[in-house]
Amino acid sequence: MLVCVDIGNTHTHVAVHRDGAFSVQRDIPTPLLDDAAEGLPAYLAALRIAPTASPLNSTVPPNPGPATAEGDAARGGIAFCSVVPAATPRLLAVAATFGLPVWQLTHAVRLGVPITYPRPAEIGQDRLANAAGAHALAPGRPAVVIDLGTAVTFDVITSEGGYEGGIITPGPALVTRYLHERTAQLPLVTDLDAPIPSVIGKSTAEAIRIGAVVGYAGLIQTLLDAVLAEFATRGLPSAEIFLSGGAAEFVHGRLRQPVRIVPDLALLGLAAAHVLNHR
């Protein structure tokens, strides 16, 4: 029974894990993580958890009322992973204000699978959480986790090597932003969810959207084919393929292999690893 917090570069994903299920899920802009009105303090206050120390500022409700079932769950503490080191002390300060114990998923904790990556401390904590989540959903099976966020990461888990490593490439939003920032006339295209009726763009914005969405699926397919070809060369059984992250829908249905979309894979991995480390 705890609050799971996945701190990403752009957004922080938060949910209460209770009795094997998630509830009260929310995305918080990471720059606002400790904002009293829009960040984690407001989220915890909405769960009817009262600050036990001085509030971060006067807008945090000093006495939010009786605890709800979600509030009781949250009192189990906070489990978190972070790819933004500067955000960690901000989260710890919020937890201290609300009197909640904190547990951080790092390469040094039990994930359910070993780590054979040469420099484990370099691995993003979100990637480790994804590995723990993949193991929880497909124990003992090889897995490829494709997390499509600000950056796109491939993480490879095998029965013989555990977490072995992966691939990193820019996410679709980074591609469109880079085009805008590094060219004189290309606009910033942010509506990547807009329908694409044709792969022949009739405007500059439409052409950029096609490249970022349709073209991106081709990039992911090529990388996935290369990983699976290496699996075959090594004689490994077929891998479970997981898609996660905000841009997962961009490639779902455009890949040749069957995949499982698990939007909350990192949160699931956080909860599963927390159990392993608190038995």
Q: Could you report the average pLDDT of every consecutive run of 10 residues in the chain (279 residues)?
A: 91 92 93 95 88 50 38 68 96 94 96 94 94 93 91 92 93 86 89 83 89 85 95 92 84 87 93 92
Provide the pLDDT for residue 63.
34
What global pTM score does this model have? 0.83
Among positive and negative, which fits the CA dihedral 230, 233, 235, 237? positive
Residue ending a domain, among 104, 132, 163, is 104
Domain count, the chain: 2
Which of 161, 174, 111, 141 minimizes the C-alpha distance to 241?
141
Question: Is 148 in the same domain as 89?
Answer: no
Give me the phi and psi of 198, to 5 degrees please: -150, 150
Which amino acid does the sequence have at 81? Answer: C
Please report the pLDDT score of residue 227 as a whole number.
95
Q: Are strands 11-18 and 21-29 parallel, antiparallel or unpaired?
A: antiparallel
Q: Would 111 be classed as within a structural domain?
A: no
Looking up residue 204, the CATH number of its domain turns out to be: 3.30.420.40
126 is catalytic: yes
**What pLDDT is recorded for position 240?**
94
Radius of gyration of the chain (CA): 20
Whole-number Å distance between alpha carbons of 113 and 115: 7
**Would you say residue 167 lies in a domain?**
yes
Residue 41 tokens read as 């303090």
The two three-digit tokens of residue 103, written as one number: 């547990």
- pLDDT, position 94: 95
Containing structural domain, residue 165: 140-263
Same domain, 96 and 150: no
Of residues 6, 34, 126, 147, which has the active-site annotation?
A: 126
Give the distance from CA 270 to its chain's centroid: 10
pLDDT at 53: 60
